[in-house]
């Protein structure tokens, strides 16, 4: 075994604990079993759940052509594989910016054409599914819609992979049940997302339930990623939560990035600027190295960085602390 490995279960536990089986009994096809091995979701040339670590990054909302293109180019160079950005925005206030709709989708498609990044974007209503599916590579179901079964069914039937975000007050069983609805509608390509939940704690926007990631890696064959941006609500904390997600075994992260967060039309306070994004990506490296040399090398190659002995030394420093 790779020295200093986090000893994450490579493909989850071979057996799911009996009490978890009972607790998640309503989502039988989501649970790992001898019949159901790890799901790998393939989008363009990206694999999610195949043992690699995938970074999805981009603005909260699609604002302007310049904002999308500048962000797409930057995050691609820093190692992201998928561009995020909302064209249809669920907002807490009905008076806030609701997204550019079709114009936003077109900007995202243009960014894909220019950068080769795959696109993930939210679909909020069943009526919009055909339109969003025409432009997006992955359909995002937002937290506020996790239990909107009509939307889940329509999105599932589009045939596009689904990024299913955990509802703000949803239990892990609720999340897995919604994933089961997508599978029941003939779509096996579900990526789960832990994005923080509401608890009695109010210091942060949400409480990052990192144990949910570790648990889901054990019980489910579906990939799970983390959204440190919505979990933290504050850009200063996003890199730390991203590192925790790597250590917990997440298959990737989805992060909000903006050229000028202070001017963002939504979620500027939790968006990273380009320098902060680069620093975060670099800071993930020793944690990725703990997950295995192959994963680390792949990540570095994507960023155009050659593996240096110093990085291996970083692994041992972490091992001593951990
Ligand atoms: C988003 O990712 O843009 C978003 C609105 O997130 P959530 O649904 O998790 O609140
Ligand atoms: Mn947002």
pLDDT at 171: 98
pLDDT for 240-275, tens place per residue? 999 999 999 999 999 999 999 999 999 999 999 999
Roughly how many angstroms between the first and final C-alpha of the chain, as a whole number?
Answer: 17
What residues contact 194, with CB distance under 8 A and at least 6 apart?
A: 166, 208, 209, 210, 212, 213, 216, 224, 225, 226, 227, 231, 245, 250
CA of 140, nearest ligand number? 1
Burial class (CB in 10 A: 0-12, 13-18, 19+), 202: exposed
Q: Break the chain down into helix, strand, coil percent, rounded to 5.
A: 45, 15, 40
On whether the CB atoms of residues 47 and 40 are closer than 8 A, the answer is yes
Helix (H) or strand (E) holding 28: none
Query: Taking the model in full, what pTM does it have?
Result: 0.91
Which atom of ligand 1 sits closest to the CA of residue 230? 9
Binned at pLDDT 50, 70 and 90, residue 312 comes out as very low
d(CA 136, CA 260): 25
Q: Is 291 in the pocket of ligand 1 (CB under 6 A)?
A: no
Grouping H, G, I as helix, E, B as strand and the rest as coil, residue 25 is coil
What residues contact 320, with CB distance under 8 A and at least 6 apart?
A: none
The conformation of residue 56, written as its DSSP 8-state character, comes to: E
Could you give the C-alpha distances from 102 to 85, 106, 230, in angstroms and in order? 13, 6, 24
pLDDT at 295: 79
pLDDT at 7: 61
CA of 170, nearest ligand number? 1
pLDDT for 63-114, tens place per residue? 999 999 999 999 999 999 999 999 999 887 888 889 999 999 999 999 999 9
CA of 91, nearest ligand number? 1
Helix (H) or strand (E) holding 269: none
Which atom of ligand 1 sits closest to the CA of residue 61? 3
The Å distance, Cα 143 to ligand 1 centre, comes to 6
Binned at pLDDT 50, 70 and 90, residue 9 comes out as low
pLDDT at 294: 74
On whether the CB atoms of residues 265 and 61 are closer than 8 A, the answer is yes
Q: Is 235 in the pocket of ligand 1 (CB under 6 A)?
A: no
What residues contact 212, with CB distance under 8 A and at least 6 apart?
A: 166, 172, 175, 194
pLDDT at 194: 99
Grouping H, G, I as helix, E, B as strand and the rest as coil, residue 266 is coil
- From the list 114, 55, 110, the residue with the least C-alpha distance to 87 is 110
d(CA 77, CA 305): 11
Helix (H) or strand (E) holding 215: helix 210-219
pLDDT at 320: 29
d(CA 11, CA 220): 10
pLDDT at 319: 31
Residue 228 above 60 pLDDT? yes
pLDDT at 316: 37
d(CA 314, CA 283): 11
What residues contact 198, with CB distance under 8 A and at least 6 apart?
A: 168, 169, 206, 207
Could you give the C-alpha distances from 59 to 48, 113, 224, in angstroms and in order? 21, 18, 21
pLDDT for 33-55, tens place per residue? 878 889 999 999 999 999 999 99
Binned at pLDDT 50, 70 and 90, residue 293 comes out as confident
pLDDT at 275: 98
pLDDT at 187: 98
Any bridge partners for residue 194, and if so which?
Answer: 226
Provide the percentage of residues in the chain whose pLDDT is more than 70: 90
Q: Is 143 in the pocket of ligand 1 (CB under 6 A)?
A: yes
């Amino acid at each position: 075994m790779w020295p200093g490995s986090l000893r994450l279960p490579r493909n989850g536990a071979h057996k799911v604990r009996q009490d978890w089986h009972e607790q998640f009994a309503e989502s039988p096809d989501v649970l790992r079993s001898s019949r159901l091995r790890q799901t790998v979701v393939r989008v363009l040339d990206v694999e999610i759940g195949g043992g690699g670590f995938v970074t999805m990054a981009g603005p909260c909302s699609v604002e302007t052509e310049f904002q999308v293109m500048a962000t797409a180019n930057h995050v691609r160079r820093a190692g992201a594989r998928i561009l995020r950005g909302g064209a249809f925005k669920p907002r807490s206030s009905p008076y806030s910016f609701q997204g550019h709709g079709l114009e936003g989708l077109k900007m995202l498609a243009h960014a894909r054409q220019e950068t080769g990044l795959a696109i993930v974007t939210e679909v909020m209503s069943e009526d919009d599914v055909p339109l969003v599916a025409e432009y997006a590579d992955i359909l995002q179901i937002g937290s506020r819609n996790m239990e909107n079964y009509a939307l889940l069914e329509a999105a599932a039937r589009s045939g596009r992979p689904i990024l299913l975000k955990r509802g703000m007050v949803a239990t892990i069983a609720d999340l897995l049940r919604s994933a089961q609805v997508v599978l029941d509608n003939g779509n096996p390509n579900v990526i789960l997302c832990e994005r923080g939940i509401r608890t009695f704690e109010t210091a942060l926007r949400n409480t990052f339930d990192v144990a949910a990631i570790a648990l889901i890696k054990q019980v489910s064959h579906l990939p799970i990623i983390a959204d440190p941006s919505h979990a933290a609500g504050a850009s200063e904390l996003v890199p730390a939560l991203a590192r925790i997600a790597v250590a917990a075994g997440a298959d990737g992260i989805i992060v909000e990035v903006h050229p000028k967060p202070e001017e963002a039309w939504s979620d500027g306070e939790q968006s990273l600027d380009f320098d902060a994004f680069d620093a975060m990506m670099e800071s993930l490296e020793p944690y990725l190295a703990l997950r295995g040399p192959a994963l680390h090398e792949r990540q570095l190659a994507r960023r155009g960085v050659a593996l240096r002995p110093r990085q291996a030394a970083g692994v041992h420093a972490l091992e001593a602390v951990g």
